[in-house]
């Protein structure tokens, strides 16, 4: 079981749908998103919502209290193939120049 699988299941228990937490701001670069969302992580991965939608996933804004917060929503419990598609969509991680530890 991968960390993403565990996260999707946790979201189901908390919110009633299988999903993965992501950040999105229209027409922003990865570093722009990291800055606007005050992303604390040292590294992050980037994709576009349209890539995920073309792969059959829903991307929806899910937390109005957190600017830019959205979820990749699965139709049901995600299979390993679903998780693998998401991982490939995001590709390799990149350093977060906005992280406090940098």
* CA proximity to 62, closest of 49, 50, 51: 49
Tell me the pLDDT tens digit for each residue of 8-54: 999 999 999 999 999 988 888 888 888 888 888 899 999 999 999 99
pLDDT for res 36: 86
pLDDT exceeds 70 at position 7:
yes
Mean per-residue pLDDT, 77-87: 95
What is residue 82's predicted lDDT score, i.e. its pLDDT?
Answer: 96
Q: Is 63 left (phi over 0), alpha (psi -120 to 50) or beta?
A: beta
State the pLDDT at residue 27.
82
pLDDT of amino acid 63: 82
């Amino acid at each position: 079981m991968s960390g993403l699988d565990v996260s999707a299941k946790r979201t189901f228990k908390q919110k009633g749908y299988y999903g993965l937490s992501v950040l999105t701001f229209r027409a922003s670069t990865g570093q722009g998103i990291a800055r606007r969302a005050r992303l604390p992580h040292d590294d992050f991965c980037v994709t576009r919502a349209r890539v995920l939608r073309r792969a059959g996933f829903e991307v929806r804004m899910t937390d109005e209290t957190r600017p830019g917060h959205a979820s990749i929503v699965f139709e049901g419990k995600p299979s390993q193939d679903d998780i693998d598609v998401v991982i490939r969509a995001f590709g390799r991680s990149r350093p977060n120049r906005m992280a406090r530890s940098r």
